[in-house]
Amino acid sequence: MASVSGVHRRQCLQSHQKFCYICGSYVFDTKVRQIDSFVKKLYVSYFQLKVGDQDKSFAPHTACNTCVEGLRYWYDGKREAMPFAIPMQWREQKNHYDDCYFCMVNRHHFFLKYSLFDS
């Protein structure tokens, strides 16, 4: 039985593919990139971690252009480091009420931020 308050939601409020696998930020369609072999190579080189959970539905399969370009600049020697040292760590959520990253992120913050720049 579904609850009006959303306590018993059975699916995420937002698509997992709208988030960056690397930094966890909400990503607009025009600024998203699929995680391909090139992105995996950069990720492994910088973080010394394998790109994992790509066979799981709970992890994003996309990255934002900012992270991909930042890693590429680092790889090419044009940047010293990324602005963060530890990438987003994804895990399977237990529920969509208080344990789901995708449901808990407030997208309106991103819309407000970008609408101010577009004006």
**Phi and psi dihedrals of 108, rounded to 5?**
-60, -30
CA–CA gap between residue 6 and residue 95 (Å, rounded)? 11
Q: What average pLDDT score do residues 18-33 get?
A: 85
Share of the chain above pLDDT 90, in %: 34
Distance (Å) of CA 32 to CA 5, 25, 29, 98: 32, 11, 6, 26
What global pTM score does this model have? 0.73
- For all residues of the chain together, what is the average pLDDT? 78
pLDDT given at position 8: 55
